[in-house]
Amino acid sequence: MKSITGAYEGVFHINGQTRRMVVFPQDTLLSLLRGHAVSLSGAKPGCENGDCGACTVVLDGLPVKSCMKLAVESEDTAITTVEGLYDTEVPKQFLDKWAFQCGYCTSGFILVAYAMLLNTSRVNDAIITEWLRSNVCRCTGYQEIHEAVWAAANARGNGT
Which residues of this chain interact with another protein, rule CB under 8 A?
Answer: 1-6, 24-28, 48-50, 53, 56, 62-65, 67-70, 72-73, 112, 130-131, 133-135
**Closest distance to another protein from the beta carbon of 108 (Å):** 9
Give CA angle at 20 (15, 26), nearest 5°. Answer: 95
CB nearer to another protein: pick between 47 and 95: 47
**Closest distance to another protein from the beta carbon of 27 (Å):** 8
* Residues 133 and 112 sit within 8 Å (Cβ to Cβ): no
Residue (of 103, 106, 102, 125) closest to 114 by Cα position: 106
* Residues 78 and 88 sit within 8 Å (Cβ to Cβ): no
* Residues 125 and 132 sit within 8 Å (Cβ to Cβ): no
**Closest distance to another protein from the beta carbon of 112 (Å):** 6
CB nearer to another protein: pick between 100 and 131: 131
Give the span between the Cα atoms of 80 and 101, in whole angstroms. 23
* Residues 81 and 43 sit within 8 Å (Cβ to Cβ): yes
CB nearer to another protein: pick between 21 and 68: 68
**Closest distance to another protein from the beta carbon of 73 (Å):** 7
CB nearer to another protein: pick between 94 and 131: 131
